[in-house]
Amino acid sequence: MEITTRTAKTILTPQKSGLLASGPYPFTHSLSPYTGCGFGATTCGLYCYAQFLPNWTHSHPGIAWGSAVQVKENAAEVLAQTLAAMSTPQRRSLRIFMASTTDPYQPIEATHQVTRGCLEVFTQYDDLDLLVIQTRAPLAARDFDLMRHIPYVWLSVSIETDDAEVLRALTGGPSPAKRFALIEEAKQQGIKTQIAVSPCLPYTDHFADRLLALAPDRIIVDNFTEGDGGRGYRTARSPYAAANLAWREQEGLARQLSERLALARADVYWSTSGFCSIPPRSGQATQSAMPL
């Protein structure tokens, strides 16, 4: 793994188009503590759409996804300056997704602690509207002491399947059991939780029951076609598609799971609209923050 550092000029990226900017309750910004992702060498890296985006392809030409990570070493400092410069109404409009192009709790976070530094900044403000932390890593439990003091935080954990053999047959990653345990511990700490079955991989007959037993605050189910940001085009040219020629035939598994879950609870959501459907804290529609 090649690890480099850089000094970031900005840390909150406005979302004016694309998946995160869709309705009914769009995100205003994304926050990525790292460029690249150490999980890129595991199962999720086979289909991760971030490997096709310009911030990777232009800055790391010819470098395989998952083999290099760039650390934004001053991310917390820039975040603190940015939030301090905003008015209260501006901060109240902020709906931040951390992160859309990397996992904030990928392995090197254990030593670099960039994500933890950002959370320390967020604990100083109670007036933001939403912060979603999207991860698949058990390491997130390390920072529950901070998340408990951020009233607008949601922990969203990717659990694409409950079948550990499916992951092992590909290139591995954090086990489903450890991700289930992460959700359970977060709930015990009083942290709002979301499970993202995104994208849905082949699963066992017990997956729906296991998700229901966890009782997260909400569940999102997604497939490759609607979730990769390119109607399946990105997935079709990914290493995952090359290794799984029947991936399109598996797409119906996601719909079947969603329908099974929806029979038992109302807060089951689908794909992009599901990610962008956490209502504002005020119960009113948000207005976009001023550009940063």
The residue among 204, 94, 128 whose CA lies nearest residue 160 is 204
Question: Each residue of 76-109: pLDDT tens digit?
Answer: 999 999 999 999 999 999 999 999 999 999 999 9
- By residue count, the chain amounts to 292
Q: What are the per-10-residue average pLDDT scores of the chain (292 residues)?
A: 95 93 95 96 90 79 89 98 97 97 97 98 98 98 98 98 95 96 98 97 97 98 82 83 83 95 96 95 52 42
pLDDT tens, residue by residue, 143-179: 999 999 999 999 999 999 999 999 999 999 999 999 9
Q: How are beta strands 268-270 and 95-98 bridged, if at all?
A: unpaired
Judged on CB neighbours under 10 Å (0-12, 13-18, 19+), 97 is buried
Contact 209, 231 (CB under 8 A): no
